[in-house]
Each structure stands twice: as C-alpha cells, then as structure tokens.
C-alpha cells in the first residue's frame, strides 16, 4: 500500500499511476469531498468517536478530516482508495488529538461544571460497548486501538488497514496481533478488578491489577 | 474479518507465541494448510492457548456486533464541514494576513541586533534614548537620534560564546529584591538565544548596571507603562496587616544618567484617540526619570472616594461580608496626605488593599491602569479599580465585591462578575445552584457598564484579534481565607470569543447552538476580517481540567502565541508556565508547545517575540533566574540570567 498516498497524510511519495487530478481544481475537489462525505461521514465519525470518546470532539474532528481531504485532494491517486485514504486522514487526526491532549495535560472532565461534554456512562451507551470492554480499549495503546477498531468494526481490508495506519502490510498484521493480545490482557485485568470490587476484597478500586498502558505502541 | 495479510516465515520464541500469532491471523484469513494443522494440533494440547483463542474470538465478536450500531453524527455536520471547506477555499485564495499593528511593549528602536557582549557599552546610549527604547515608541522629546544609531553600530563585537545562536530581538526588564528593600531594576536586550538543545550551555544574559529603587515592601508585580515612563508597582505587603499599596514610580535611570530637576511625571492628559501615541500632550516635556527612587512606607488615612457613576450592581456578597458593602468601605480612593513621606515623583494610588490576581494592566493607549483589589480587612471580595494616568488615586468602578478585571478590549474594561445561578448545567451543581462568571465591559470614561450576554466563563482573556479567549468554564466559590473568588469545578479552556464579533454569513452557518451574540458596545466590536476563518466548532480546547487554583493567561500581539501560568495547587506563589502556539486558521493549539510546564513565578511578560519569566528561588538559597524564550518565525530558543541571590520579579 505504500506509495499510493502522498502529501500531508501520505506514508510515501507518489509512485506513478494516474492521478485523480493533475491540477488543483477546487470545484472538482469540493464535489469529490462532498461525495465522500455522503458515503463515509458516518463511519468516519463513528471511528473518531470510538477513538476519542467525545461526541462533540468527534464531530469536530470529522469536520477537520474532510477539510483536510479537500486540502489534500490532489494527493489521492486512485479514487477506489478514497475510503482508506479518508481513514488514514482520520487516523492521523485522532492521533494528533490524543497527542495534543497529553501535551496540554488533558484531564477527563467530570461533568460538574457547565458545558456539553458527555459523561463516561453516556459514552458507553452511545458506543454500545460493555463497560469492561470500553475501559480495556482505553487502556491499550492508541495505535493498537485504532488497528482493532478499523479491522473489526470498520471492516477494513488488510491493504486498507495498512494504508490507514501508514505502515506496511507486515507491520499492520503485527500491530493487529499485538492489539488483540493487549485487549485480552486489559479485559482480564478489568474483570479481575470488578470481581475484587464486588467481593469487597479490594478496598482500592482505583488501582486495578496491571493498571496503565499496555504494549509498546503509541 | 477481511484484514488478510501476506505471511512470511519467521522464527518463534516459543510454540505458544507462535500459536497466539497464528490464532490472531486466522481470525483475519485462513492459514495455509501446514500452519493450520500445526495450530490445531497445538491447541488440542495447550489449554492456555485455547483460552487465548477463545478470548480473541469473544472480544472480536463483541466488537463486531457493533458494526451496524454506529453512533449517529450530528445533523448539522455537513453544514459545518461545508462552511469550513468554503473558508479553506477562501483562505487559500486570499493573501496572507498581516501581523497586528500593535506596538509591542518593549520594542527596540535600533534597526539591527547587536551582540550581547556589547550591551554594557550601549548603556550610555540607552540612558539617552531611555524611555523610548523601552516603551516601543519614540518619545516626542527624546526620539532616537542618528548619533545614537551610529553609536550602536560602532560597538565592539561580542566575545560571548556563540552556540547555535538564533538571532532575535527581545527586550526585557526585571527587578531583584534586596535584603533591605532595595530594588534593583534591570533592563536588557537579548539579540541571540540558543536552541533548546544548547540552552544549558548558552551564555547567560548580561545583567546591566542596575537602577535602584527603594520600596518599603517587596513588590509582587511590576507593570511598565506603554510610554515606558513609569512603573506601577504592586506591593506584596502582608507583613503589616494593613494590606498592600500600589505605587506609580518613574522609571529610574541608571547611575550616572541624567536626572531631572522635576522628577514628578506631569499629569497626563487624556489622549483623544487610542492609537499608538504617548500620553504626553504635544509639546509637553516628557517625564524624566530619576536615578534613584524612594517610596514611602506610610499608609495614608483614607478619604471617602467619589462615588462611581457606573451601573455596577451590588448583589449580596455570599459570605464573609458584614453588612452591605459600599464603595466607601473600600480603602483605596484617598487623597495623599501632604505629610506623606512619599518622595516627589512617586504616587501611592491605592493602599490598604490586596491586589487580586495578575491581570493588572494599562489600557493600550496608556491612559488608564486597571486592576482588581479587595480591602485588606473585612472579608469582602474584589472589585475593579481604575487609575487615570496623572490622577491622585485609583477608584473602584464596581462595588459588588464580586468583580475582577479580566483585561482590556480596546478602550473598554473587560470584567467578570460572580453571579449566582439557581441551576447550573451539568450534574454536579444542578440541585442547589452555584456561582458562575458573567462578563461585562465598562467604559472607563463614562463608567457605563454593558453586560456581555452569552460570553462564556470567568475571567476571559481575549486574544488581540478578538477571535479566541481563555476562560474558566465552570463554577466558582468564595474563598473565605483569601476573600477571593476562585474556580471550583470545571475546566480552563480556550474557546471562541463570541463577544465583539461582527455577524457574517459564515459565522451564522457555523455558530454553535446556544452561543448567543453578546451585546457589546460599538467600540468593542472590532473584529478583524480573519475572525470568520476560525473554525468555532472545534473549540473549546481544554487547557486544564479539574481543579485550578489560579491562572494567568496572556497572548502575544499576534494572537498566535499564548502563555498560560497555572498556580501550584498547594502553593500558589509559584506555578507552571507553558507557551502554546495557536493555529490562526483553526484557533486550536498545535502540538509540541515550545514551553511546557516550566516552574515560574507569577507575573511573566509576553510579546514582541519573547516570553520572559522568573523561576522561584531554590531551597539552597539560590535566587531566581530570569528566563527568556524568544522566537523568530518557527525557531525558538532560550537564554537566562545567572541565578542571583534574590527573588526576581519580571517587569511586564
């Protein structure tokens, strides 16, 4: 998949092949992005929501992703790759946001003040995930989480997944394997913690076993 | 699963490792026959690997059941996106926006940088050009002369180490506190900084010969007037129990500088416009600083002030106030006693007060100085005070003890008031209600107050382009111990500034639900043309969640650099300082801030391509360092002074 995308979000430079457009044509780009939006905005929004767990932020970043698709329209070589290309953009946008959160010392908002951020409980309902699974997903590295979501929930092919993640096929496969293992361990830890809390054997529910990030992917 | 991948032979650490990998891969695509047979055989004998395989399958099934239950995007998402794309298209076709025309605080006069090592030789010239060099604008009477420029260019080259230098132009000033109240005032110019990787080895800032001022108490903060002729010094007085004093002090000249026989700055006429002008009337000799300044320590008896003519409301103070407060309860406005030992040239514009926060600032034209203060006694909350340059005393322009000065919006005072809301949005405060911030502007000339409906939060700090603001989004509480309003629960955010924006089609298309346009006075509606380029829907950004005891946010003159100091939770006398780069197109903070969480005292200075702050003194007796982070384009570098023995206060 390397070499099909270029520009701001591409993993490599263009290597041959017919370009969608040789010239920057705003009108064409606008129409193309509008069509992309109609087809894919729901899944892009869902992906970003699952990554970031913030409905308003997911909407904002979905908007960002399509604006960047418009801006980088001429970097798309093959229209048939547009979906994976969009996911690649969304993936980068999500990682940038997660990285930025760390930099600005983002702390989860607890909902006591005025504002529109939804509670964790609402998000779980929105995402229709079990609490254990949601927490476990939160604990695995972002790139692994992204790989899992894209493969299992968004049904990306191997090629598309590699393209969206900006890595080689082999690396994408390895990442997915590590993600499954990380999620398994995280789920096990969550359930042990739940069991301990239920039985009262643990007085410190804030320190579940194996707390913290799993794996080495960021 | 459709994520099928090509495989290649590999070596394995263990058969269990191999089984786990192959189990995962088989979820995506069939294995080749040999590998499938091996896996089946291994799983038949390995209970642990079967459990892993079962877990993979289970978590996969749980995830895949959600495929058809995707969350529903907002209905207006296309409208927002289309509007953003239109802005993108318009932005790419439009010429680049020029930088703001605001003159920076400490702009230099000389046309080209000089080496650090030459600075000491420049001081004689600096005495001549004095205030104009510091103030960023030539004084009518002492404009830089050709000879001064020639002298600057004739200095000997620097002998300081030159490690990865980045040429910058950064003027700065600071005070050091001596053991006897002796204040040493330093002004310096930095022409080069070192890249972060070499900052530790960078030659320190050379501290020029200090200019001396004697103060009865160490200052807490020092503000330089836009004309660079005077300093407003806020005492950190708590030792006497009578509150602190706010002084206006002429900028001292260095030893050997020309002293004025009449050191008292003349009363400053009110400028007739808000442009980049000095406060002195044409033809009026500029205030001439004295080489040494002594400020008296006596607190003057208070005289009831003239009543504010504004419309400030006086709701009941929620706690800690005995009786209904009036402006006359406040200690500030008083006529200095003729017997005051305060020497000529200095003014005590407020006394027996505790200045609240670090927002005190001159108006852009230097006519007014505004700050927040509360009485030293009585448990009453803060009000906004203003002082007109040349007047005897500062006056309160609010009387409710719930108001604080947030900053200047052109020639208007932007304030925040704690108001009770019967029902706050969100879960935590819904039952009993609570206090939240409401913003307003006050015309300092007429004292007319205008509410800014729909302006969010507490203490908004608005960027110079009037597009963004930092504010506390949350509830407030009255701190009995300090008699100050402080954040309770919520978050410190950077968000779109809805105040003073001019309606435009693109704004309407992308406005956030529930964000009303405020009723700002005409003078505050000075939205630059670039305002519509901000994508409002991506905001607010959370700068700090959870508890924030205090903060201090300031923008540079371009609105693209934002410094935020956040007080330490346990000891607000110091905090952490960060510098963020704000994308002018989106209004969002970019990744990799040039400065992240540096230990700093409150009272930093930002502008004209540099951020200046002082570090807290160390426990080993080492004093503050004054640090500079300067930038040119996208290049950032830093330099600092050698540590002194005293605490430093940055002049801002």
d(CA B542, CA B490): 10
**pLDDT band per the 50, 70, 90 thresholds, residue B441:** very high
Cβ within 8 Å, pair B59-A180: yes
Phi, then psi, of B354 in degrees rounded to 5: -115, 110
DSSP state of B589: B
Q: Do B24 and A180 touch (CB under 8 A)?
A: yes
Three-class SS of residue B167? strand
Whether pLDDT at B226 is above 50: yes
Residue A96 near residue B472, CB atoms below 8 Å = no
- DSSP code for B499: T
Q: Is the pTM of this model over 0.80?
A: no
Helix, coil or strand: residue B213: strand
Nearest to A180 among B56, B62, B85 (CB): B56
Count CB neighbours of B529 within 10 A.
Answer: 11
The predicted pLDDT at position B483 comes to 85
Taking residue B222's Cβ as centre, other Cβ atoms within 10 Å add up to: 25
pLDDT for B197 equals 55
The neighbouring-strand residues paired with B595 are B579
**Best A41, A116, A180 residue to mutate vs chain B (most B CBs within 10 Å):** A180
Cβ pair B591:A158 closer than 8 A:
no
Partner residue opposite B4 with nearest CB, options A60, A133, A157: A157
Cα–Cα dist B383/B371, whole Å: 8
Sequence-ordered list of residues with C-beta below 8 angstroms from that of B54, at least 6 positions apart, any chain: none
Query: How do residues B18-55 score in pLDDT, each as one tens digit?
Result: 999 999 999 888 888 999 999 999 999 999 999 999 99
- Ranges A124-138, B159-173, B499-513: which has the least confidence: B499-513
Strand partners, B214: B182, B294
Conformation bin of residue B440: beta by default, left when phi > 0, alpha when psi is -120 to 50 = beta
Nearest to A172 among B2, B5, B7 (CB): B5
Q: How far apart are CA B26 and CA B306, in angstroms?
A: 84
**What ipTM does the predicted assembly reach?**
0.72
Q: How many CB atoms lie within 10 A of CB A131?
A: 12
Q: Residue B407's pLDDT is what?
A: 93
Return the closest-CA partner of residue B165 out of B635, B533, B521.
Answer: B635
Mean pLDDT computed over B397-411? 92
Q: Report the residue of A112, A142, A179 to disrupt the B interface, i.e. the one with the largest count of B CBs within 10 Å.
A: A112
Distance CA(B111)–CA(A52), nearest Å, equals 50
Chain A interface, mutation test: which of B16, B71, B580, most A Cβ atoms within 10 Å? B71
Cis amide linkage into residue B97, ω under 30° from 0? no
| Closest chain A CA to residue B427 | A112
pLDDT band for position B556 (cuts 50, 70, 90)? very high
pLDDT tens profile A83-126? 999 999 999 999 888 877 655 443 333 323 333 344 444 444 44
Whether A70 sits inside 8 A of B21 (CB atoms) is no
Which one-letter DSSP state was computed for residue B418?
E
The C-alpha atoms of residue A183 and residue A186 are separated, in whole angstroms, by 5
Residue B452 has pLDDT above 80, yes or no: yes
Out of A26, A63, A181, whose CB is closest to B81?
A63
**Does B66 contact A128 at a Cβ distance shorter than 8 Å?**
yes
**Cα–Cα nearest to A56, from A115, A128, A142:** A115
> Following DSSP, what letter does each residue of B240-300 receive, concatenated?
SSS-EEEEEEEPPPPTTSPPPSS-SPPPPPPPSS-SS--SSPTTPPPP---SEEE---PPP
- With an 8 Å Cβ cutoff, is A205 touching chain B? no
**Chain B residues touching residue A175 (CB < 8 angstroms):** none
Higher-pLDDT residue of B393 and A195 is: B393
pLDDT at B421: 79
Q: What angle do CA B409, B412, B416 make, to 5 degrees?
A: 80
Which residues, including other chains, have CB under 8 Å from residue B558's CB and lie 6 or more apart? B99, B100, B464
Span B87-103, pLDDT tens digits: 877 765 443 333 333 33
Contacts of B542 in chain A (CB under 8 A): 101, 104, 106-107, 109
Positive or negative, the Cα torsion across A196, A202, A203, A207?
negative
CA distance A180 to B26: 12
- Chain-chain contact of A64 with B82 (C-beta, under 8 angstroms): no
With an 8 Å Cβ cutoff, is A148 touching chain B? yes
Q: By percentage, how much of chain B surpasses pLDDT 90? A: 17
**Which of B271, B255, B263 is closest to B289 using CA atoms?**
B263
Nearest CA in chain B to A65: B81
Q: How far is CA B115 from CA B120, B145, B190, B206, in A?
A: 10, 21, 8, 11
Cα nearest neighbour of B586 on chain A: A64
Let me know: does A159 contact A84? Beta carbons within 8 Å.
yes
Cα end-to-end span (Å), chain A: 21
| Dist CA B91 CA B502 (whole Å) | 18
User: In b/e form, how buried is each residue of B241-265, taking b as 16+ CB within 10 angstroms?
Assistant: eebbbbbbbbbbbbeebeebeebeb
- Helices A131-139 & B47-64 angle (0-180, nearest 10): 100
Distance CA A37, CA A66 (A): 7
Tokens of A101: 């959160």
pLDDT at A101: 66
Cβ distance of B63 and A133 shorter than 8 Å = yes
Output the six-digit token pair for B122.
Answer: 């420049």
pLDDT (tens digit, 9 = 90+) per residue, B250-262?
Answer: 888 766 654 433 3
Q: Are strands B626-632 and B165-177 parallel, antiparallel or unpaired?
A: unpaired
Which is nearest to B403 in space by CA: B379, B376, B385? Answer: B385
Q: Which residues 111-130 of chain A have a CB within 8 Å of chain B?
A: 111-115, 119, 126-130
Mutate which of B29, B427, B515, B545 to disrupt the A interface (most A C-beta within 10 Å)? B545
Give the Cα-Cα-Cα angle B627, B633, B638 (nearest 5 degrees): 15
- pLDDT tens string B466-523: 888 888 888 888 888 888 888 888 888 888 887 544 333 333 333 333 333 333 333 3
Q: Is A102 on the interface with B (CB under 8 A)?
A: no
Q: Which two tokens stand for residue B112?
A: 């080209």
Tell me the chain B residues in contact with residue A43 when contact means C-beta distances shorter than 8 Å. 70
The distance between the two most distant Cα atoms of chain B, rounded to a whole number of Å, is 104
Chain centre distance of CA B280: 28
| Average confidence (pLDDT) over B614-624 | 77
Checking if the pLDDT of A148 tops 80, the result is: yes
B-chain residues near A42 (CB < 8 A): 70, 72-73
pLDDT tier at B454, thresholds 50, 70, 90: confident
pLDDT of residue B414: 94
């Amino acid at each position: 998949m390397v070499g099909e995308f270029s520009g701001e979000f591409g993993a490599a430079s263009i290597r041959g092949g017919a370009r969608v457009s040789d010239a920057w044509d705003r009108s064409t780009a606008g129409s193309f992005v509008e069509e992309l939006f109609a087809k894919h905005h729901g899944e892009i929004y869902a992906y970003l929501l699952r990554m970031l767990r913030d409905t308003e932020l997911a909407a904002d970043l979905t908007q960002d992703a399509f604006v960047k698709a418009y801006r980088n329209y001429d970097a798309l070589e093959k229209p048939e790759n547009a979906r994976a290309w969009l996911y690649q953009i969304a993936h980068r946008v999500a990682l940038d946001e997660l990285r930025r959160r760390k930099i600005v010392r983002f702390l989860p908002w607890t909902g006591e003040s005025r504002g529109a951020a939804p509670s964790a409980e609402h998000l779980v309902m929105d995402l229709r995930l079990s609490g254990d699974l949601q927490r476990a997903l939160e604990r695995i590295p972002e790139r692994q989480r992204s790989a899992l979501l894209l493969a299992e929930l968004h049904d990306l092919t191997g090629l598309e997944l590699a393209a969206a993640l900006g890595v080689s096929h082999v690396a994408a496969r390895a990442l997915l394997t590590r993600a499954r293992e990380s999620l398994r361990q995280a789920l096990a830890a969550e359930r042990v913690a739940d069991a301990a809390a239920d039985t009262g054997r643990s007085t410190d529910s804030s320190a579940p076993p194996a707390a913290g990030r799993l794996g080495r992917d960021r | 699963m459709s994520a099928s991948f090509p495989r290649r032979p590999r070596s394995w650490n263990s058969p269990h490792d191999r089984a786990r990998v192959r189990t995962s891969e088989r979820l995506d695509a069939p294995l080749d026959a040999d590998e499938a047979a091996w896996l089946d055989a291994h799983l038949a004998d390995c209970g642990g690997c079967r459990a892993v395989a079962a877990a993979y399958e289970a978590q996969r099934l749980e995830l895949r059941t959600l495929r058809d239950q995707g969350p529903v995007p907002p209905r207006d998402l296309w409208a927002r996106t289309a509007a953003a794309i239109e802005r993108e298209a318009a932005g790419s076709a439009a010429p680049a926006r020029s930088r703001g025309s605001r003159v920076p605080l400490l702009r230099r006069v000389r046309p080209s940088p000089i080496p650090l090592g030459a600075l000491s030789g420049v001081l004689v010239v600096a005495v001549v050009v004095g205030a104009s060099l510091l103030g960023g604008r030539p004084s009518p009477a002492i404009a830089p002369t050709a000879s001064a420029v020639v002298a600057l260019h004739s200095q000997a080259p620097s002998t300081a180490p030159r490690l990865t230098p980045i040429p910058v132009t950064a003027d700065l000033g600071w005070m050091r506190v001596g053991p006897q109240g002796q204040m040493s005032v330093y002004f310096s110019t930095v022409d080069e900084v070192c890249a972060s990787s070499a900052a530790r080895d960078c030659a320190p800032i050379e501290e020029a010969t200090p200019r001396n001022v004697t103060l009865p108490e160490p200052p807490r903060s020092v503000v330089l007037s836009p004309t660079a002729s005077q300093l407003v010094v806020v005492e950190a007085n708590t030792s006497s129990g009578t509150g602190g004093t706010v002084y206006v002090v002429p900028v001292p000249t260095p030893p050997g500088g020309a002293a004025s026989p009449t050191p008292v700055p003349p009363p400053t006429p009110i400028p007739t416009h808000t442009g980049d002008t000095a406060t002195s009337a044409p033809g009026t000799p500029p205030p001439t600083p004295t080489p040494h300044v002594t400020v008296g320590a006596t607190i003057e008896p208070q005289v009831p002030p003239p009543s504010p003519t504004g419309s400030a409301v006086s709701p009941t103070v929620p706690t800690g106030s005995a009786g209904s407060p009036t402006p006359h309860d406040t200690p500030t406005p008083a006529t200095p006693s003729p017997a005051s030992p305060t020497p000529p040239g200095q003014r005590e514009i407020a006394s027996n007060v505790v200045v609240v926060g670090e927002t005190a600032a001159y108006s852009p034209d230097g006519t007014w100085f505004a700050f927040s203060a509360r009485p030293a006694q009585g448990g009453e909350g803060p009000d906004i005070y203003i002082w007109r340059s040349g007047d005897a005393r500062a006056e309160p322009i609010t009387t409710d003890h719930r108001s604080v000065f947030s900053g200047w919006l052109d020639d208007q005072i932007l304030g925040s008031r704690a108001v009770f809301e019967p029902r706050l949005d969100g879960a935590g405060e819904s039952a009993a209600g609570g206090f939240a911030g409401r913003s307003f502007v006050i015309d300092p000339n007429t004292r007319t107050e205008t509410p800014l409906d729909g302006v969010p939060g507490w203490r908004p700090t608005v960027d110079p382009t009037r597009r963004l603001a930092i504010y506390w989004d949350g509830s407030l509480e009255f701190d009995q111990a300090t008699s100050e309003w402080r954040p309770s629960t919520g978050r410190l955010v950077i968000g779109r500034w809805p105040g003073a924006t001019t309606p435009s089609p693109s704004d309407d298309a992308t406005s956030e639900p529930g964000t009303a346009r405020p009723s700002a006075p005409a003078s505050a509606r000075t939205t630059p043309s670039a305002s519509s380029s901000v994508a409002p829907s991506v905001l607010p950004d959370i700068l700090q969640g959870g508890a924030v005891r205090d903060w201090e946010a300031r923008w540079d003159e371009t609105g693209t650099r934002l410094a935020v100091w956040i007080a330490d939770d346990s000891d607000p006398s110091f905090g952490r300082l960060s510098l963020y780069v704000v994308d002018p197109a989106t209004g969002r903070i970019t990744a990799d801030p040039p400065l992240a969480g540096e230990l700093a005292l409150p009272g930093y200075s930002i502008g004209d391509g540099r951020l200046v702050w002082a570090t807290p003194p160390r426990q080993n007796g080492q004093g503050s360092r004054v640090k500079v982070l300067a930038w040119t384009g996208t290049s950032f570098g830093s330099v600092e002074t050698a540590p002194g023995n005293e605490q430093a206060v940055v002049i801002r």
